Amino acid sequence: MKRILVVIFSMVTGLTFGQGINFEDVPRWKDVLAKAKKEKKAIFVDSYTTWCGPCKQMDKDVFPVKEVGDFFNANFISFKLQMDKTPNDDAIKKGRYADAAMFEKTYQINSYPCYLFFDENGNLVHKAGGGGLKPADFIAIGKEALDPAQQMLSFKNRYIKGERSAEFILAYVRKLAAAGDAQLTAVADDFLSLQKDKFSLESIQLMMFMTTGSSSKYFMSLLKNKEKLATVIGKEKAANYLKKVIDAEVMSKAIKVEAGKDNQRNYKVDELGLLNYFNQFYSPDTAGFLTAYHAATILKMMDENQSYLKAKEVLATHRSKLDRQQAAQLALIVARKGAVKEDNELALSALSPYQQSDDHLVNLTLGKLYAYNGQQALALEYAAKALQMIRKSKPNYPDISAEEYLKRSLSTNPTPKIISN
């Protein structure tokens, strides 16, 4: 009887009933507006597409959560609006096509998922976006939407009235970025154009935040002025920022796809393409080293023998340029699980400068190499150091012995392969 009453209640109220957010099952946006006005409640609209992975993640992991539902159901009339069209759309979804087109144009929706918040009269007051959110993160977005001081509308009005303090602009830019708002670049550039010191801490923070890749104008400006960047934020932070942006595109520059027999795709490492890429940012010598190093590590996904030969070449010609993690990665490639004693000795010699390192990868690699060499006591010593380090960063790591940790590490899955197809 209770189940029947729940179904009847859902039909009467137009709610998609559940433990999480109750999304309205009414035909059109105008019906949502009418209900919000009648109940004097704000409105939340989840605009999504059927092809959007992050949208599906939110549907699965966030919207059904009880705490999320409790907050949103108490404070909002909630509505889901599909923004694309599919052959499987039912009559209700087809009836909302006009609403979706209006939303996309009026509210400048260009990325998904996009979360829009309206007051009871249908005025947009807040906009946010992003998948991969935790329930608490999404509730925080809802709280911002209810707080006039934190609403996007409030920030927009402050900006229109001329507020340009660094603190305000940085906060506004973050809101615009989270919402995928088209005004993001214009606001950032406006702020930068007004700065007397183009490389103040605030200007640099904004340019770093706005960097989307190595071709970004913000990144290029900081790269050309890397000495100023290092002076303001420190050499280590500056180097890490530049390296992170450059390294993010290595895979896309390194892999070349060629047509093979029977319409198969063959994957190769494009060393010339990599070299041309690195030459934009480094000296010819450093660019050559980085090209060889990345070729060796990426080849492991395609041809282990070619990867082995390239790694030996790098150790022979560029060893002094390797940092500890690069040395560890090449050492494992060259060692080939201890197949040839001379290769394992070469791998150990590559890591000889880092015997006292506090790096997890280096210590675990040394543990493996000594195990391949039959030096069990040394293998366990370095495995214990690696285990201690991982427990510092992961307090809930399983309570296992150094021997078990080494055993598991030696039996881990091989490097994933790129399969031609």
Residues in Cβ contact with 140 at an 8 Å cutoff, skipping those fewer than 6 apart: none
Please state which of the four CATH numbers 1.10.10.10, 3.60.15.10, 3.40.30.10, 1.20.58.60 is assigned to the domain occupying 2-147: 3.40.30.10
Residues in Cβ contact with 400 at an 8 Å cutoff, skipping those fewer than 6 apart: 387, 408
Separation of CA 43 from chain center: 29
Tokens of 103: 């939303």
DSSP one-letter code for 375: -
The angle subtended at Cα 214 by Cα 213 and Cα 217, nearest 5°, is: 85
E-assigned strands of 234-282?
Answer: 255-259, 265-269
In total, the chain counts a number of residues equal to 421
Q: So what's the pLDDT on residue 267?
A: 84
CA distance 275 to 377: 42
Q: Which helix (H) or strand (E) holds 161?
A: none
2 pLDDT more than 70: no
Instruction: Find out whether 223 and 237 touch, Cβ atoms under 8 Å.
Output: no
Residues in Cβ contact with 99 at an 8 Å cutoff, skipping those fewer than 6 apart: 28, 29, 81
Confidence of residue 61 (pLDDT cuts 50, 70, 90): very high
CA distance 392 to 394: 6
417 pLDDT more than 70: no
Mean pLDDT of 400-414: 85
Q: How do the domains of the chain map onto residue ranges? A: 2-147, 195-248, 250-321, 336-415+417-421
163 pLDDT more than 60: yes
Q: How far is CA 165 from CA 109, 168, 169, 295, in A?
A: 27, 5, 6, 46
Residues of the chain above pLDDT 90, percent: 78
Confidence of residue 421 (pLDDT cuts 50, 70, 90): very low
Tokens of 195: 């700065």
CA distance 94 to 50: 14
Mean pLDDT of 191-219: 93
Q: So what's the pLDDT on residue 414?
A: 54
Please give the residue that has the higher pLDDT: either 39 or 264.
Answer: 39
Q: So what's the pLDDT on residue 248?
A: 94
Tell me, letter by letter, the H, E, C secondary structure of 197-220.
Answer: CCCCHHHHHHHHHHCCCCCCHHHH
State the chain's mean pLDDT as an integer.
90
Instruction: Find out whether 332 and 368 touch, Cβ atoms under 8 Å.
Output: yes
Residue with tokens 């409790």: 70
Cis ω for the linkage preceding 113 (within 30 of 0) = yes
Mean pLDDT of 333-350: 91
Q: So what's the pLDDT on residue 263?
A: 72
Instruction: Find out whether 346 and 334 touch, Cβ atoms under 8 Å.
Output: yes
Confidence of residue 91 (pLDDT cuts 50, 70, 90): very high
Mean pLDDT of 41-56: 96
Q: So what's the pLDDT on residue 413?
A: 54
Least confident of 4-8, 212-216, 301-305, 382-386: 4-8
Q: Which helix (H) or strand (E) holds 130?
A: none
Coil vs helix vs strand at 331: helix
* Continuous H helices in 76-216: 91-95, 97-106, 135-146, 152-160, 166-179, 184-193, 201-210
Q: How far is CA 164 from CA 121, 174, 343, in A?
A: 30, 14, 61
CA distance 290 to 268: 17
